[in-house]
Structure 1
Amino acid sequence: MKTLLHMLKGPRSLKNKLIAVLLSSTLIPLALVGAISYYTIYSILEHKIEDGIRSNLSQTAQSLDTSLNNLKFVSQQLSLDGSVGQNLSEYLTTADLYKKKLRRDQIVDELNLISFSNPNLGMVCYATPNDRRVLFPNYCPASGLDLSGLPEFDNYADNRGFAYFGPYNSLGATGQKVLSIARKVQIEDNILYIYIETSVEDLFGDREAAGGSLLVVDHTGSITYAGSKSFTVGSKFRADSPQQDDYLFTEASKQGWSLVSVIPKAEYNREIDQWLLRFFVLGASSLGVSVLFAWMIWRTVYRPLRSLNREIVLISKSNFLSPVTFTDVKEFDFLLMRFQDMRTRIRELLREVREKEKRKAAMEVEKLMYQINPHFTHNTLDTIRWLARMEGHDEIDRLVSTLNRVLYYNLGKGKIATIADEIGALGHYVTLQQIRYNFQFDVRIDTHPRVRDALIPRFILQPLVENALYHGGMADDGVIRVTIDLDGDGRVVITVTDNGAGMDDAAINRLMALDNQPAEDGRGAKAGMGIGINYVRRMIDFQFGGRAEFRIESGIGRGTAIRMRIPYERKEPDNDERADRG
C-alpha cells in the first residue's frame, strides 16, 4: 500500500524537496516567533495604548477640574467677600459721581489684573439678569449677556450659589471654546451675576486632534458636551452600550461630572496595525531570502549533479576515456574521483569479460572436441566388440563391453550418482583389472541396502580401490574390502581396506596433502601416487564441505584403511520409479 501511494504521488525533485525544507525551516520558526511576538507585543501595545489613553484622560480631567476650581476662586474674589466685590458694592450704592468713578476705575484695574494673572480666563464681567446689561467687561460681548441659553456643565453647583456652563463658544470677541461660571451676588436690592469664562480649547482641542473625541457627562448621566457625532448633547450616556466602531474610556470626577474619551477602533489599533504591517513585511522579506537561499543552494547542488549525470550518460554510451569535469566542491569532487575510479574499473572488467568470452569460446570448442573424441572412442570400441563377436572371440567381446561401460561411466566425473551406481561401475572396473594383472586378488563389497540410494559424487570408489591396487603393495591372494553402512549419527560410512604392505606416516602425510604432486621421490614412491586420493578429497570437500570426514590409517606390514564419512542424502524417486513401486 505504501509503495502504491508513493507511485501515485510520484517522485519529487530535489529542488522541490530543498525548497520545501528551507521554507518549512523558515516558516515554522517565523510562525512560532510571530505568534508569541504577536500576543506579547499585542498585550504590551494594548496596555500601552490603554494606559496612555487613561493617563491622558486623567490629566484632562485634572486640568478641567483645576480650571473649574480656578473659576470658582476668581468668582470668590469678585464676590462681596473680595476687594472687587466691596468696590462694586460702593459703586452701586454711592450717589457721589466722583466716588463712583474712582470705584469704577479700581474695579476695572483689578479685573485687568485678574485677567493678566490668569491667562486662561476669557471674558470677566458682572451682568444683570433682568435687562441683560453687562458691567465692567474685559471683552465686549457680541450681544447682551443671556445666561438662560447657556448649556449647563454641572447644575449640581447651583445649590451653592453658582453654576458651571459649557463648553460653548465664548460670548466675548475671542470665539474660543470656553467653560464659564455664573455666581449670584446680591447687593441690597440689586441682584447681579459674576460671569467668568476660561478657555478649554487646549484641553478639548488637543485631545480631539490626537484622534479621539471627548464627552462631558454631568452627575445625572446627561451628555453636556459631545465631540463625537455618534453622541447627542442632552441624551443619556450609557457606558455599557458603546458604539460599534468606537472604544469608550471614562474618568469620573469627585464633583460628579465625568469625562468620556471616544477612540475609534481604527485609531486605537493603528499602532498595533503598524506593528503587524512591519512584521508581515519582515516575514515576507525572510521568506524571500529563504527562497533566494534555496535557489542558491539548488544551483550549488545542481551543477555537480549535472556533472554526475553527464558521466553516467557517457558510461551508458560506453565512453570510458573522456576526462572528468570537476566542480570545485570538495564532496562532489570526491564522488567524481570515486566515479572515475569506478569507470576505470568497469573498463578493466569489460576487458576481462571480453578475454573471458574469448577463453570461453575456445573452451567450448575444446569441450566439443572432448565430446567428439569419447564418442569416436565408444564407436570404435563397439566396432571392435562386434568384430570379436562375429569372429567368436567371446573373451575379447566381454572385455571390450566392460571397458566401454567403464569409460562411459568415468566420463561423467564430478556429477552426482547413487552408491548403487558407483558400486556397479566399480564392479566393471575390477573385472578389467583382474584381466590385466598377473596376480590373484579379490574385491569384496558389502553395502547395506538402506544406503544404496544415498547420493555420492561420481567416480569416488574407483580411485580408492585403484590406490590399493597400484600403491598398496598387493600380492597373490590380496583382498580389498569395500564396506558401506550408516553410523550412529545417521551419516554414510565408506571404508576401503586392503591387506597389502601398508605405508608409514610420512607416506600418509604426503597422500593427505592437498597440494600433493605426483613425482618420484628419493625413497621409491611410485609416480602418480596420491592423484586419486587428492581427487576424492577435493570432491567430497566441494560437495559436503565441513560435514564430511576423510582419513587414512596404515602401517608397514598392516595394510591400509581409508575411511570416509559423508552426510546421508537420498535421491528422490521420479514418477516412473513411483509407478513401478506402486
Structure 2
Amino acid sequence: MWEENTQMFRRLFRTVRGRYVLIISFLVISILVVLSFFSYQMIRTSIESRGRAHMDSAIRMISQQLDEEYTQALQISQHMTSRGVVGKQMNEMMRAKDMYELGEAKRKLGSNLQTVTAIGKQVELALYYSPEEGSITATTFMPKDNFNPAQGLPIARQTRSVTFHAIHESKSRFSNHPVVSVAWPDTFLFDRNLIIYVEVRTSVPELLKDINEEDASGYILFQLTKDGEICYCSHQEYANQDASALCFDGSELFGMSNHLVWCKNQSNSGYTYVLAIPRSTFTEHMFQWIDYLIIGILIAIILICIAVALFNHLILRKLQLIVDAVNAVSRPELFMTSKRTGMTEYDNLMERFEDLLEYARQLIDEVRVKEEQKSKLELETLYYQINPHFLMNSLNSLYWLARLNKQKEISDYVHHLMEILNYSLGRGEKDPTLRRELDISRDYLALEQMKHRFTVIYEVEEGAYLDSPTPRLFLQPVVENAVSHGMDTDGHLKIIVQPDESGAVIVIDDDGCGIEPDLIQEFSSLDSIKMHGGIGLRYTASMLRQFYGEDCTLLLENKPEGGARATIHLSMWKEASHDTGTDY
C-alpha cells in the first residue's frame, strides 16, 4: 500500500499539473497557517490593547474622582482641627463657665460646622468623637448607634495623623449612601483628645455603573491598602478573597488571573485602585473575532479552489498545446508547426519561440563559419611561427660564416641583431627585467654606433631593483628616439639609472637638436597621448600605463644648452599588472 502511494505520488509529481497542485496546496496551507497564527496574535493583541487602554482610562477617571472626594473630606477636617475655624469654637465651648455660655458656644459651634460642611454638597456626616467618654461631642447629623470612628471601618491609607477609610456605607442615621471618610485625632483645650470624623458621599459606584452600562463589560472596582490587601470591592463575590489569589499583589499594572483581567493604578495621593473584568467577558470579544477569522479562511479556501480550477482550465490546457508544438520540432532542421492558443501571451510566446529557432539556426551557421575560420587561422599562425624560426636560423648561419671568415664587425652586428630579435620575439627569458632592458639598449646602441660614431655613457647604480619586472622593449624606443633626433658623429648620449623611494628613475640625455614642442606637449601625460604620435614612443607610453597604471611618468623636455632629455619614473614597489607583452 505504501509503495503504491509512493509511485502514485511520483507519477503525479512528474507532470506540470501535479507539481502545480502540490506547490499551490503547500503554499495555501502554509499561508493559511501563518495567516491564522498572526491573525490570532493580532486579534488578541488588539483586543488586549483596546481593553487595557479602556480599563486604564476608566481607572484613572475613578482614581481622580476618589482623590477629589478624599481631598474634600480632608479640607473639612482641617477646619475642624484645634487650629481651624470650627475647632477654635470647640475650644470656646470647652472654656464655657456656665450653662449660658455653654449653650451659646454650642450654638455657634453648630452654626460654624453647618457652614463648613455646606461647602461640600456631598458631606454626609461630620462630627467630633471622644474616645475617652465613648460619646459624640458635636455632629451635623446623628450617627448610627454604637458608632466609633476608630473601629469597624475599612482602612485604605493611614498616615501619622490621619486615617483614610475605603468606600463604605454612610454611618449617618439618615443615609445609606456609599461614602469615603477620614478620621483625624487631635488635642483640644485642657488636653482633651477628640477624633474628627468626616465622610463625603462618593459618586464612584454611579460612575462605575455608567461605564458598565456603556460598554456592557461588568467592571469590578477594588480598593487596596498600602500592604496590598483588599479593603473594598464593588462585587460581593470577590470581597472576601485574598489579593494574592487574584494576582494583585505584584508590581505589574496590568495582568490576568484565573477569573479576572485587571488594571492597577496608584493615584497621586497614594491610593491604589484596581479595575477588573471577568475573564470570560474579556475573551468573549476575542472569540467573536476568531469566528470571523474562521469564516474568512473558509471563504479564502473556496476562492482558492475556484482559482485553481480556472487556472487549470485556462492556463494548463493552453500550455499543453505549446508542449505539443515543442515536441513536434524536428531536431536536425529545428522546424515546428505553428499553433495558436487563442491567448495573446501564449501566441506571443509561440512567435518568440519561432524567432528563437530561427536565431538558433543562424547561430549554428555562424559557429560553422567560425570553426572554418579558426582552422584557417591556426594554419596561418603555424606559418608565421615558422617564418621567424627560419629567419633566426639564417642569421645564426650568417653569424658563424662571418666568424669563420674573421669578419668581426659583421659577426658582432649579426650577434647584436640576433639578441634584439630573440628578445623582441619573447624567446629566452619569459619575464623581462630592467637589467635585461638595459642590455638590449646596449645591443641597439652598439648597432647604431657602427653607423654613427657617437659616444655613449652609462651610469647605472647596481642594486636589486635592476631585477624587477618591466614591460618588454619599453626602453629601446626612447633610446632610439634620442639617437634618431639630431645625434651626429660627435654627439654624446648619456643613460643614467638609479633607484628612488618607490622604484627607479631612468634619464636619457643627449646633446642633439632637441624634440619638437608638439611632441613634448603630447607626452605631458600618459593618459592624453594621441594615436597619431610616434609608434615607438606611443608603444612605450601604452606599455608603461598598462603595466604600472597611474604611478608611472614619462617626461620629455628640451635642455636650455641644447639637446633633449627623457625621464622615466618607474614605481616598482607598488603592485603592477605584469603583462609584459606578447610572446610569439
TM-score (norm 2): 0.43
TM-score (norm 1): 0.43
Larger CA Rg, structure 1 vs 2: 1
